[in-house]
Amino acid sequence: MPSFVRNLAAYSALLVLASCSTQPTAPVRVTAAPAADTAACIAELDSSRSEAPRALDSGNISVVNWNIQKGRNTEWVQDLHEIGSRPDLLILQEASVRTNVWRDLVPEHHSSFAEGFGPDWSPSGVMTVSAAEPLTECELVAHEPWFGTRKATLITEYGLSDTAQTLLVVNIHGINFALGISDLENQFAQAKAVIAEHDGPVVFSGDFNTWRSQRARVLEEMLESLGLTALDFDVDHRKRFFGWALDHIYVRGLYPEDATTLQSDASDHNPMTVRLRLSEEPLRVRAAR
């Protein structure tokens, strides 16, 4: 076995062991309906749109993206408190449905959840916490080829003030434990198909696990075809592996007023924060770094 494969397998095993933790309990609430396939998700988004009592402010949308490492260290909420962040969109990976400590930060927000890895009694996955109730939501599911565990993509859609357009938010946790890129490419293709059907602004955010050039190239091709652009951060503390950043925020139809990252000991990833506004002028499309 090549040394790279042995090292990657060892790293994978360490990550799995490190992820085992005990969560504070809260009612389990899985809100996003799983779709049989991407076409079913698109059809659900088209058919189940409903009126919401509140829309996001199209001129000022604050976003935090963070892989909170199963949320086992609840100080991640305190870290956001200390920087005065009460985001309109809190886009989380490795969130657990058995803890709702985020309510200490944004008690009136809504939560949407798509199950990923974990035991039945305490699944973790991707969660989007929002100041406005979603108009629609849908879950797409992929699987880690080595372990068969779930990796979820959560699709939510929100009304915006002063416009008939809606905001599509795609929260993804990318497949990690694979030697090739075909499984990751298929997972990204699911998200791509949904985004391509949306005529309006988009936030595509998460832990993409782009830890080598071939993985990043898959995203570059998606950017080119969908008009998404990767945000720059004035200070960049994103987690890197083999020199490649794992976490990204991409936008379309939105202008970043400011974007930065913060350092925190509450997770093995660091949070990204950005403030966005609706924009009719497209940003220059570029790839992630």
Per the DSSP assignment, residues forming a β-bridge with 241 are: 244
pLDDT for the residue 144: 83
**Which string of DSSP letters, residue by residue, matches 154-220?**
EEEEEEBTTSS-EEEEEEEE---S-SSSHHHHHHHHHHHHHHHT--S-EEEEEE----SHHHHHHHH
Taking the C-alpha atoms of residue 109 and residue 161, their distance in angstroms, rounded to an integer, is: 17
Taking the C-alpha atoms of residue 157 and residue 239, their distance in angstroms, rounded to an integer, is: 28
Could you give the C-alpha distances from 199 to 11, 44, 115, 166, 221, in angstroms and in order? 41, 16, 27, 8, 20
Contact 277, 58 (CB under 8 A): yes
Q: Is the pTM of this model over 0.75?
A: yes
**Which string of DSSP letters, residue by residue, matches 224-238?**
HHHT-EEPP-SS---
* Extended beta strands in 231-284, E state: 240-241, 244-245, 247-252, 254-261, 272-278
- Sign of torsion, CA 92 95 98 103? negative
Domain 3-278 -> CATH class: alpha beta
Residue 161 CA from chain centroid, whole number: 23
Q: Vertex 98, ends 173 and 122: CA angle to 5°?
A: 70
pLDDT for the residue 52: 64
pLDDT for the residue 272: 95
Taking the C-alpha atoms of residue 59 and residue 119, their distance in angstroms, rounded to an integer, is: 41
pLDDT for the residue 18: 33
pLDDT for the residue 22: 31
pLDDT for the residue 280: 75
pLDDT for the residue 97: 78
Residues with Cβ < 8 Å from 76, sequence gap 6 or more? 66, 68, 264, 266, 267, 271
- Tokens coding 7: 């090292």
Domain boundaries, the chain: 3-278
Taking the C-alpha atoms of residue 101 and residue 81, their distance in angstroms, rounded to an integer, is: 12
Taking only the tens of pLDDT, the chain with its 289 residues reads 444 444 444 444 333 323 333 333 333 334 555 555 788 888 877 776 666 668 999 999 999 999 988 766 678 888 888 877 789 999 999 998 777 888 888 999 999 999 987 666 668 899 999 999 999 999 998 888 887 788 999 999 999 999 999 999 999 999 887 777 888 899 999 999 999 999 999 999 999 999 889 989 888 888 888 999 999 999 999 999 888 999 999 999 999 999 999 999 989 899 999 999 998 765 555 555 5
Q: Kindly report, residue by residue over 151-186, the tens digit of the pLDDT.
A: 999 999 999 999 999 999 999 999 887 777 888 899
